[in-house]
Amino acid sequence: MMIKAEGIAPALPDKQSPRNQGLPAGVGFDAFLLGERFPNLFAGSEPERCRLNLFGCAASPRFRPLKICAYQSVFQAQEEVQFAAMAFVYKDEFAYLCFRGTDQSWIGWKEDFNMTSLFPVPAQELALTFTEILAPSLPERLYLGGHSKGGNLAEYVALKLDKTTQNRVQKVFNLDGPGFKHGAFSNADYTPIIDRIHKIGPQDDIVGSLLNSPVPIRPIYSDASGFGEHNIFQWQVDLPETALRSASNPSESQTETPGIELKKAGSGINFVSVGSFGVQTKLITDALRRWVNKNPDAINKRNAEAFFRFIEKPGVATEDQIFSVDLDRMPDFMDQAVKQDTSDAQVLLDAAQSFGKSFIELLNERIEALGTSKSEVAQT
C-alpha cells in the first residue's frame, strides 16, 4: 500500500530488540483516517485512488481486523536506495509482509535500473533484513508480496530466507515485478519455493517480464494500454460484468488487445485472466532480456547512468513525463539526445542501436522458426 505511515503505524524494531516477544503491536486502517495527513499521506502516482482504497479497507469487515505494524521506509540518495515495507497481521493466524514498489523519485527508478548490473541492490538486502527481524515475532503462516519492485523484493526474500523460515512461507505474490540479473539465482535455488510463488502481469506490459526468473507469469487483463497497464488500479477483478466482457465489444473507456480472449470467471476474488501475452509484447521482452544478459555488467551500468544523467538535464524531460511514459513525446526525447553534444548522448544512441540489433536478430530467428514449423507441417 502506497502510504507514508511514519508516526501512525509502529516502526520496525531494530536488530537488537528481543525476538519472540509475542505479536508486535499494530494499528487498524482507521488509524490512518487523519484528514490533516492526507495531503502528504499517499505515495505513488494515484493518491486519490489510494485514499479511496484506504476508506474501503477501513470500512470492510474483511480487512478491518488486520493490524498494521513494523513500518520501515528508507530513502538515501547517495546510496541510491528507495525502500519501504510493513506487515499486516491477522490475529495469531497469519501475517502478510508487503514491500513497496518504485516511488516517483529518480532515485527509486535508478535503483531499478541498477538491477541490470548489481546484485543484490540495497532494497533487496533491506527487504531480507526486514523479514529476518520480524519473522520470529509473527504467526507461523507467512505471506510475502508487493507490486513492481515490491514483487521483486518479495521473490528475493523468499529465495534467500533460511530453510526454517522459508518453510513458513505459504505464498509469494509478485505483482508485475521484474526478475534478477543473469546468474543471480540458479534453478536449484528456486526448487524449494517456486510452487509457492505466484506472479501475474497485464497482457501487454513488459515490466514483469524484464530480467530473469523461471516463475511463470499469469497474464491478466488491464483497462489501460502500453506502460499504463503496469498501474495496478487498471487491473480488472473477475466480477461477472468484468470477466464476461468480450474482446470484440470493449467499453467506451477501454482499448482491448486484438487476439486476447478473456477467461470467464466471476468469483470476485481474483484478477481477470487472459489467454496469453501479446505476440509483440513477448518479442520485446525477450529481446530486452537477451540484450541485457549479453551485455557485461559494466555496459549495463554505463547505460543506466548515462540515461539518468541525460534525463536530468534541463529541457530534456520532467519526472512526470518520464513516469507517464508519454510515447507521443518519444521522438522529441530522442531528438534531444541527438542534439546533446555529450558523451552520454552517444552512449544512449549506441545502446539503442545495440538493442535494435538484438531485436532484429531475435525477430529473424522467430520468423525462421515459424517458417521451419510450417514446412514441417506441410511435409507430414
| Pairing mode, strands 141-147 and 169-175 | parallel
Provide mean pLDDT across the span 279-305.
94
For residue 298, give the nearest of 116, 99, 133 by alpha carbon: 116
For residue 207, pLDDT beyond 70: yes
Query: pTM of the predicted model, to two decimals?
Result: 0.87
Band of the pLDDT at 243, cuts 50, 70, 90? very low
Phi-psi bin for 315: left (phi > 0), alpha (psi -120 to 50), beta?
left
Annotate 16-28 with DSSP letters as a single string: TSPS--SSPP-B-
Task: Yes or no: say if 99 and 150 are a contact pair by the CB < 8 Å rule.
Answer: yes
Confidence of residue 287 (pLDDT cuts 50, 70, 90): very high
For the residues of 317-375, what is the DSSP string, one character each?
--HHHHHHT-GGGHHHHHHHHHH--SHHHHHHHHHHHHHHHHHHHHHHHHHHHHHHHHH
Which residues, 6+ apart, have CB-to-CB distance to 6 below 8 Å? 71, 73
DSSP H or E run through 197: strand 197-202
Q: Which three cell numbers stand for residue 132?
A: 529476518
| Residue 259's pLDDT band (cuts 50, 70, 90) | very low
β-bridge partners, 273: 220
Q: What is the mean pLDDT of residues 109-117?
A: 94
User: 71: helix, coil or strand?
Assistant: strand
